[in-house]
A = this chain, B = another copy of it.
Amino acid sequence: MNLITLKELCEMLHISRRTIQCYEKEGLMVATNKNKYGHLLYDEKAVERAKTIKFFRDLGFKIKEIKGIIDASNDIKKEALENRVKELEQKKRKLEVIIKETRRLINELI
């Protein structure tokens, strides 16, 4: 049972202490334990949980939405992910359009 500290977890996932604190307050995850000094500790399962939450966040899901799908069936997860992929592709197309528009504007600003 390898336990890591909150700081190590944050460095591993490239997120802040406050972000993890937010996940915990919303009930999305819990620290595995505390050491004798009161420092928060996380085991591998907790680390995986945090990674999953971050993955959903990167996909643009809100914390409350994540609460609704992270422990749901594969069918529900799959549907949510498929819908999200469609939205992300929409977003990507919009990004491409605005990048082009901006390029044009930059050239006009010579």
Binding site for B on A (CB under 8 A): 55, 58-59, 74, 77-78, 81-82, 84-85, 88-89, 91-92, 95-96, 98-99, 101-103, 105-106, 109
Contacts and interface: CB of A to CB of B under 8 A. Distances in A.
Q: Specify how many copies of this chain sit in the oligomer.
A: 2
From DSSP, what is the main secondary structure of chain A's interface residues?
A: helix
A55 to B, nearest CB: 8
A88 B18 CA distance: 26
A55 B81 CA distance: 30
B85 A102 contact: yes
B105 A81 contact: yes
A99 B92 contact: yes
Contacts of A74: 109
Given A81-B106, A88-B102, 6 more contacts: A55-B101, A77-B109, A85-B102, A91-B95, A92-B96, A95-B95
10 contacts: A55-B101, A59-B98, A59-B102, A81-B102, A81-B109, A82-B106, A84-B102, A85-B103, A91-B95, A92-B92
